[in-house]
Amino acid sequence: MLGEGGVAPNQGLARLFGALSQYEPGPDLRQDLQHLAQVRHRLDLLMAEMAGALASSQIWEEEGYVSPIQWLREEANLPTGVACQHVGVGLSLDLMPGSVEALERGEIGFGHLALMADAASFYKDGRFKEAPFLEKARQQKREPVSQDLRHARHAQDPTGFAEAERQAHEDRYLKLSPQEDGALVLRWQVVRTKGERWKAIPPLPPRWYSDPDPPPD
């Protein structure tokens, strides 16, 4: 199996690809799905470690990308959200050693690590306390734990939490600008609660027409 540009994977990855190609589900699909999910979480953790190393290097910049997230999107075919998660977790692993061990034991999933890395990004050095976040992650599934982690972050640092919420509110905007020819230019900005913010999206090329012009497809 060749990678992009015809480059063969290293021996370890080649063995992994070979094992996946030979895998056949057993009679108990539930157990197999649980085990495959654990494998996926471990692979995501490994990718996060490498994504963090990539972000800390200048490789992506030397290759002409504006961020390591763009590099992962273009070179690794990852959606933006997934690339953000991997970079965020990779850069926060030293703040979550217990959570990494919990993932390796199958107690939590990679999504929990991503949520905790997101929470940790709001704290100054040494102020993030992993234990209450990890306990919440162990107790609940991924969706409910997102709100509980917000509560835990507020309990640890109410002032910082309030400031982050205020800043996030100020940084979001939606603006409609009328033009002389009757068109409306739409500008907006979406801010991620992670280390790197999305840039403001430029004006959209399609125009919004008023009667009697038909609307665009």
DSSP 42-101: HHHHHHHHHHHHHHHSSHHHHTT-SSHHHHHHHHS---HHHHHHHHHHHTTGGG-HHHHH
177 and 145 part of one domain: no
157 and 176 part of one domain: no
91 and 176 part of one domain: no
201 and 176 part of one domain: yes
The residues, any chain, with a CB within 8 Å of residue 186's CB and separated by 6 or more, are: 174, 175, 176, 203, 204, 208
135 and 184 part of one domain: no
| Residue 112 lies inside a defined structural domain of this protein | yes
Q: What is the mean pLDDT of each run of 10 residues along the chain (217 residues)?
A: 64 87 90 93 96 93 93 94 93 93 93 88 78 83 57 62 60 64 61 42 39 42
Number of domains forming the structure of the chain:
2
Q: What is the pLDDT of residue 16?
A: 86
- For residue 184, the 8-state DSSP code is E
| Residue 32 lies inside a defined structural domain of this protein | no
48 and 151 part of one domain: yes
| Residue 30 lies inside a defined structural domain of this protein | no
| Residue 8 lies inside a defined structural domain of this protein | no
79 and 152 part of one domain: yes
| Residue 21 lies inside a defined structural domain of this protein | no
Q: Tokens in use for 56? A: 């800390």
Q: What is the pLDDT of residue 205?
A: 42
pLDDT in tens, 163-208: 665 665 555 656 666 666 666 566 656 554 443 343 343 443 443 3
| Residue 75 lies inside a defined structural domain of this protein | yes
Domain that holds residue 199: 172-208
Q: What is the pLDDT of residue 210?
A: 36
